[in-house]
Each structure stands twice: as structure tokens, then as C-alpha cells.
Amino acid sequence: MVRDRAPIVAGTIFALLMVAPFGLGLIGQGYLTGLLMRAMLLAIAALALDLLVGQGGMVSFGHSAFVGLGAYALAIGLQAGIESLLLLTLIALAVSGLFALITGVLALRTSGVYFLMITLAFGQMTYFTLTSLAAYGGDDGLTLWSMATLLGTDVAQNAGQIYFVILVVMVAVWWLMHCISQSRFGRVLRGARDNPERAEVMGFSVFRYRLTAYVIAGMIAGLAGVLTAQQNEFVSPALATWQHSGDLLVILVIGGLGSRNGAILGAFFVVIVQDLLGAVMPEWRLIYGPLLVLVVLFAKGGLNRLLGPAQTGSVA
């Protein structure tokens, strides 16, 4: 069967990212390494969101809430004296998973635009709740004076090799999403996207599968939040703004819905375009906004189309 060049494309991307810091370090462009980290962090959250939007057909506009929760879980945990990154990550996963479970039960009572608006509202609720945490910086956010340690080392810190930690996590999340998309679970999820009524009559509780996907996606976004906080050494409610959720959707559409590589390529594309435009003019949003409109109106299928045979939903 001629299908699925996805692992090859992904492998190439990962290999390039693996050697990138050495090359960039040689030409003295540490700044670019930072850019790549930002893109990878976005890619992790976007990979998670694609499980909902691409595989499940559930357009969530509140996904950055989980990123914010993960980041704050790390920050608050650090302030409480927990230093192990693994333990902090577990806490963050629990917090974002629980929040996904509660909001998911409510939001999944509906679908389509209702779902979109409700996730947007819960996202905004999270944002405002974070801004009201006066003890943790409120609006201004919180600088992390101490950093979490990975197994007692500084590997997961900027002084160490956090770039590679982020890369490893991104590859792992890619792999997880790749597995899920081909698994029994992924098949049910896509079936329910195609025709929820039929999936129900086949004997699947569409609600349970969607809720499970929502919780998984929320936890992985939480993980992205943990790493974002650790890398920035700073957390702020801005992580959870709805514009940030919008950026994640933009990434998916530009990359191509339902493809893991699309999520990664889209993240790099968006970060690089924003950065380039920003370098040209401070009012780069004047160009970026209309660019989005044009992409929606005229470019369908996304970047991933360019790099492989046309992938239909059935391959996903």
C-alpha cells in the first residue's frame, strides 16, 4: 500500500531538530535555539489539540487553559517547596486532567458551535481565575526564582539541556498521538466525528470516547504548560488567554488538520512567520491578521499536503 510517509517526514524533522542546536551554536545563534524551543512547546500543545479537532471533530477554543494550568501547577508547586520535576509534572497532569474531566462532562453535553463557545468560556474563566491569584502574581505573573530539577540534576533547566528535554517530550507526544490515531480508540473517535449517530448504533458511547480524548488532550497541554514555565522561568495568565487558544487552532489549520506532522510544521511556521514579521515591523499583526483571513479563504489542506500524498481522514 502506498501510504503514510508521515513517519519518514517526522523522523527527518526530529533529526534536524536534534542537530540544530549544535549547528546554531557554532554560528552563534543561541537566539534561534530559543525560537525552536518556543515552536516545539507550541507543537506539543497543538499535537494534543489535534486529537480533539482533527481526530474527534471537536473544535475547542479553550485549549490554552490547560497550558496555563500546567504552568501554574509547576509554579505553585515550586513555591510550596517541591523541587522534583517529575513530581511537579504528575501534579500538573492531575490538575489539568481533572479540570478537563469536569469541564468536558459539561461541554460534551453539546457539540459543534456550542462546544466551541463553552470551551472558550471555560478557557476565559481559567484566565480570569489565574489573574485573581494575588499570591502568585495576579495579572503580572510570577518569576520562578528556583527551578525544578530532573532526578536531582539541572538537565531540565536553561543552564542544562532543556532543549533536548523539550524535544524528547515532543517526539514522545508525537509517537503517542500517532499510536492513538491508528488504535481502536482513535478509530472510534474518527468514526464518531464522521457520524456520531452511526457510532452510537454500532454500540459505542460517543460521549465516553470524546470525554477520554478531551482528558488526554488536556493533560498533554498541561505538560506543555509545565515545560513552558520551566523554560521561561516565568508564568503569567497570558499563557491561558483565548488568543493563545486561537493560535493553536491557527497552527492546526495551517499545518493541516488530522496530521501530527502538520501540527509540528504549523507550529514552526507560525512562530517563524510571527518572528520574521516582528523583525520587519513592530506592528506585524497588521499583516498577520489579514494573512490568516487569506489562508482560510484560499489555502485548504495545510502544509502537510505539500509533504506527502494526499492523506484523507481514513488514514489520519
Nearer to other proteins (CB atom), residue 83 or residue 194: 194
**With respect to other proteins, which residue has the nearer C-beta, 156 or 270?**
270
Cell, residue 216: 488526554
CB of 15 to other proteins, least distance (A): 24
Of residues 152 and 184, the one with the C-beta less far from other proteins: 184
For 255-272, b/e burial (b = at least 16 CB within 10 A) is: bbbbbbbbbbbbbbbbbe
In the complex, the smallest distance separating the C-beta of residue 28 from other proteins, rounded to whole angstroms, is: 33
Residue type, 240: A
In the complex, minimum distance from the CB of residue 53 to other proteins, in angstroms, rounded to a whole number: 7
Q: Could you give the CA distance from residue 257 to residue 302 in angstroms, rounded to a whole number?
A: 7
Smallest gap from residue 149 Cβ to other proteins (A): 28
Q: Which is nearer to other proteins, 92 or 118 (CB)?
A: 118
- Candidates 239, 304, 278; CA nearest to 41 is 239
Which CB atom, from 57 or from 70, has the smaller least distance to other proteins? Answer: 57
Query: Minimum distance between the CB of residue 23 and other proteins, rounded to whole angstroms?
Result: 33
Q: Where are the beta strands (DSSP E) in 62-152?
A: 142-143
- Exposure string (b/e) for 65-98, b if CB count within 10 Å is 16 or more? bbbbbbbbbbbbbbeeeeeebeebbebbbebbbe
